[in-house]
Amino acid sequence: MIYHPFSRSSLSVLNSPSESRSGFTLIELLVVIAIIAILISLMSAGVGTAIERARRLKCMSNLKQLGIAHLAYTSEHNGRTVPAIIQNGTGINGAVDWATILVREGYVDDPSTSTATEKNATSVFRCPAGLQMPSINNRGTFSNPAHAASDDAQGYVLYTFRREDGSTRYLQNWYGINAVVNNNNPHFPFWSLQSVGGDNPWSIEHGRSLLTITRPERVIGLYCGMGLHNGAIARVAARHGKRRQVNLLFMDGHVGSRSIQDVQTAWNQMSLPLSARTFPGISFSTNF
């Protein structure tokens, strides 16, 4: 029999599975690459969200620990709140602040370092969402949302003090206290005090009584930020929720997170009578 190249048998051989095309087309490869890119972006977003949440929770845990330390301090000092700062105190440069008081009196583990630039990642005064940089000579605007979200508000204030053995120590602090420099200001839960010397160089009996704060669950005690409100570096820092949220410790010991807009409203309306406030449920003053 004569074999013809276009016979039925030859066509069946040419179209057999063993001879069919294999591999991906260009379109198929592009589809696969697009799917992989989408999965990577979703995973990255998920990882970023998880990291941000972990930082926020760690910051709130720090504030909670500082609140417990403060309550322990008040219980051992006749119900008096820790001084925000003591002018002409026993620290270097003539001042002692609340953070170094809690450290020196043993209410929190000592996270201070022997040099000003040394890091302590486990410090209870370290906001994990803050930047590892000092804030120097720029007080900014206390509750301005744009400033609170800027890099300028994300660093720390450096406190210097001496231990009982005379050694110089440095404490990096990413948290601020709700007080002003004016002594015994009745509107704030923490007061600045003057040293009186003698057997009581810290004037601790003149601190504010915690019992005089009638709505402690609404009054801010500490905030994610720096310094005092007047006469010192003073910044609320929006370090969480994509730099839109501020972590707060209230005077009853609970912690929370509020928008920088709520914080700004509370600050701007602090001096208004209660009937005139657009009340966000938080307050820097103790006047209700």
Terminal alpha carbon distance of the chain: 111
Residue 168 lies in a domain: yes
In eight-state DSSP terms, residue 283 is B
Residue 205 lies in a domain: yes
Q: What is the dihedral of CA 169, 159, 191, 127, to 10 degrees?
A: -110
Q: pLDDT means per 10 residues in the chain (288 residues)?
A: 50 49 72 80 68 92 97 93 79 75 92 93 94 72 78 88 86 92 79 65 70 93 84 80 95 95 90 85 88
Residue 32 lies in a domain: no
Residue 7 lies in a domain: no
**Which strands form 192-194's sheet, in the order they lie side by side?**
95-97, 85-87, 192-194
Residue 31 lies in a domain: no
pTM for this model (two decimals): 0.79
Residue 8 lies in a domain: no
Question: What is the separation of C-alpha 16 from the centre of its chain, rounded to a whole number of angstroms?
Answer: 69
Residue 26 lies in a domain: no
Query: Do 239 and 181 contact (CB within 8 A), yes or no?
Result: no
Residue 115 contacts by C-beta under 8 Å, 6 or more apart in sequence? 170
Query: Do 198 and 205 contact (CB within 8 A), yes or no?
Result: no
53-78 per-position pLDDT tens digit: 899 999 999 999 999 999 999 999 99
Give the Cα separation of 64 and 221 in Å (integer): 11
Residue 216 lies in a domain: yes
Give the Cα separation of 237 and 42 in Å (integer): 29
Per the structure, how many domains does the chain have?
Answer: 1
Domain with 248, as residue range(s), is 39-276
